Amino acid sequence: MSDIWIMRIGHRPQRDKRVTTHVALSSRALGAKGIFVDTEDPVLEENIRSVVGRFGGDYTIETGVPWKRKIAEFPGKVVHLTMYGQRVDEAIPKIPRDEDILIVVGAEKVPPEVYQRADFNVSVGNQPHSEIAALAIFLDRFTGGSELYSDRHGRMTVVPNERGKTVVDASR
């Protein structure tokens, strides 16, 4: 499978810091290669890089990226997650696995230009819900769940168990 990238549009650092952080963390955990955020936010970058430093992987973050340019120049397919698109189960088989994909996730009303430029407008349900949920469902289905427990070879590893919390810190 080729690389999966995220483009976060409409990030407002004071208002959306937790939501955008969760968009980044969810996409990282579910197989994305990195995230581009339209608004510059050094604190967000530092937080995500800290997680990657502790838990591993080669996930990248870049903020202050103009979304119009990124979408226009992206060499693969653009997938826009929206309530108004084609149903996720109908769209996923049509999305090529041999090209990189850029998944556009809005924080506020997405400009019509995004709908027009996207190769795929994909709906994950038809009820109001979180963009984090939509992204997680899409990525899990697109990757067939293969990323849920993949090892990122980080300093820290969470070991799933029925009761309790087990975190192995390889640096100790």
Task: Report the relative pairing of strands 166-169 and 156-159 from DSSP bridges.
Answer: antiparallel
Token readout for 23 is 């968009």
Q: What distance in Å separates the CA atoms of residue 3 and residue 62, rounded to the nearest whole number?
A: 16
> Domain of 61?
4-169
Find the mean pLDDT for residues 32-45.
Answer: 96
pLDDT band of 6, cuts 50, 70, 90: very high
Mean pLDDT of the chain: 91
> How many residues does this entry show for the chain?
172
> DSSP letter string over 10-60?
S--HHHHHHHHHHHHHHHHHTT--EEEESS--HHHHHHHHHHHHHHB---E
The domain that contains 94 carries what CATH number?
3.40.1280.10
Whether residue 21 has pLDDT greater than 80? yes
pLDDT band of 15, cuts 50, 70, 90: confident
Query: pLDDT value at position 69?
Result: 96
Find the mean pLDDT for residues 83-107.
Answer: 95
Nearest to 167 by CA among 151, 156, 154: 156
- Within 10 angstroms of residue 66's Cβ, the number of other Cβ atoms is 11
Nearest to 85 by CA among 125, 135, 140: 125
pTM (two decimals):
0.92
pLDDT in tens, 115-161: 999 999 999 988 888 899 999 999 999 999 888 777 777 777 787 88
Could you give the number of structural domains in the chain? 1
Find the mean pLDDT for residues 66-83.
Answer: 96
